Amino acid sequence: MKRTKIIATIGPACGSKEKIGQLIEAGINVARINFSHGDHQSNGEFIRNVKELRQEQNLPIGIMIDLQGPRIRTIVERDVEITEGELIGVFDASQKNSIPPRQEKILKFIGLDWKDIIKDIKVGNDILIEDGLIRLQVMENNNDYLTAEVKEGGTVKNHKGVNIPDAQLKIGSLTEKDEEDLKFALEQDADFIALSFVSEAKDILKLRQKMEKISGRSENLPQIVAKIERKEAIKNISEIIKTADAVMVARGDLGIEMDESRVAIYQKEIIALCLRSAKPVIVATQMLNSMIENPRPTRAEVSDVSNAVIDHADAVMLSGETAFGKYPIRSVKVMNDIIKKTEGSPFDVLAHGFLGDKKSSISSAVAHSAHELLKDTDAEAVIAASLSGFTARMVARHRPEKQIYVMTNNPKTHNQLSLVWGIRSLVLPECRTLDELIDRSIKSLIENKLVKIKSNVVIVAGRPGVSKEHMSLVKIEEVD
């Protein structure tokens, strides 16, 4: 069984129940639905198919809704050819009749579709268009429009993505479309909400408050995945990790906003911080990108996936490869194979002291003790009882070589643990005592043929009825 989880984006190429079933068989753990595409009807059908399959197969397959976020796009009536050194105008195209009059030195104008955005852009800021292929630098802000020099030219087409890395843009992380999509996601009982273009911890807090207001509850809500794709997010990464439930290293936009030569370094730094905080972390974007068109990945892509596993990411993600690529099932099988071979290598070992843990809490000390027992005894697995998933994450962050089985009485937690490294979760009825919890857990594993009679297992648990983020017990138990 692989430990690193696979997220696959569901789209037209793999959205049927039959195809999603094949994705599950190939090794996916989380189904991502990107709300930048499709509508509630088509995306709702994808969600229903996943729910039916996970119920039929009794598997914890998480459902992640990825909100589009405030994407800025170009507005042009026809393609605009621009060349290096040319001066062009950039204006706010969200308002009617907003095109400035042609100037003596400016004959070409490009619109941006975000209201009042011109006010937030300063002289010296770069404007990057279509994944940074075209670069403009702002020379003047004339209030109604910008004068920009073309640094890297090309053809500006309508509705292409725009990044302005150094501008302090006063745009929220949730648009009106996102709010409607969020309501739909809550109605569908999604397991995760991925928040695009996070800048600071406040963005996550606002989303959590919004979810509580819409749903009328604070428990059993979707977990929030903070997508790290902006320069501001890197500056505020510690607080973002502390506030979010999980983190996604969205390397596509991050590589546009930042120096691309540092993206791999940021990936490693973010994964390390998430491990120390016991927060799941996802590596995403273009992992097997060539498989959108080709049946085999490039050697560089294979290395990319392997390195994410060696970095100890909880999950790796496929986007266009499965959503609209020619080989969605094969892409998952290839990724699964790379993960297994990498995890079987001597390089997939967490270095001693990597977590930098000072055992500042009882829970971290208990998790550390469980890991040491697994290493120093013949125990074949660890059994963790977890209502919220906290205990599971604390154990998993040590990346033990033995299997982690997590028992929970919460179906939502059962599905959300699909994102956590190395976890295999099972649902148990609520137990009133610790002895009952241990007995039922072992019995369930025996019934599912997951542990052998007379083998030893490490038990990690808190007492029933105590705080959900409390671990107080670690022991070795013989299976009988």
SS3 category, 130: coil
73 counts as catalytic: yes
Select which of 32, 160, 279, 330 is catalytic.
Answer: 32
Instruction: State which CATH number among 3.40.50.300, 3.30.365.10, 3.40.1380.20, 3.40.640.10 fits the domain covering 362-478.
Output: 3.40.1380.20
Write the DSSP string, 13-59: TT-SHHHHHHHHHHT--EEEEETTSS-HHHHHHHHHHHHHHHHHHT-
Residues 6+ apart with CB under 8 A from 449: none
Give the pLDDT of residue 465: 57
CATH number for region 72-163: 2.40.33.10
**pTM for this prediction:** 0.92
27-37 as b/e: b if 16+ CB within 10 A: bbbbbbbbbee
Among the options 17, 51, 71, 73, which is catalytic?
Answer: 73
Structure tokens that stand for 95 in this block: 């308002």
Query: What is the per-residue pLDDT for 144?
Result: 82
Give pLDDT tens digits for 33-59: 999 999 999 999 999 999 999 999 999
Give ranges for CATH 3.40.1380.20 in the chain.
362-478
Nearest residue to 54 (alpha-carbon basis) of 447, 421, 415: 415
| Structure tokens given for 428 | 């148990």
Catalytic residue among 227, 251, 397, 399: 227
Q: Which CATH class is domain 5-69+173-343?
A: alpha beta
What percent of the chain is predicted at pLDDT more than 90? 68
Residue 413 annotated as catalytic: no
Q: Where in the chain is the domain with CATH 3.20.20.60?
A: 5-69+173-343
Task: Give residue 378's pLDDT band: very low, low, confident or very high (50, 70, 90).
Answer: confident
Tell me the pLDDT tens digit for each residue of 290-344: 999 999 999 999 999 999 999 999 999 999 999 999 999 999 999 999 999 999 9
**Computed from CA positions of residues 142, 145, 147, 152, in that sequence, does the dihedral angle turn out positive or negative?**
positive
Q: What is the pLDDT of residue 433?
A: 80
State the catalytic residue, choosing from 74, 285, 322, 342.
Answer: 285
Per the annotation, the verdict on 217 as an active-site residue is no
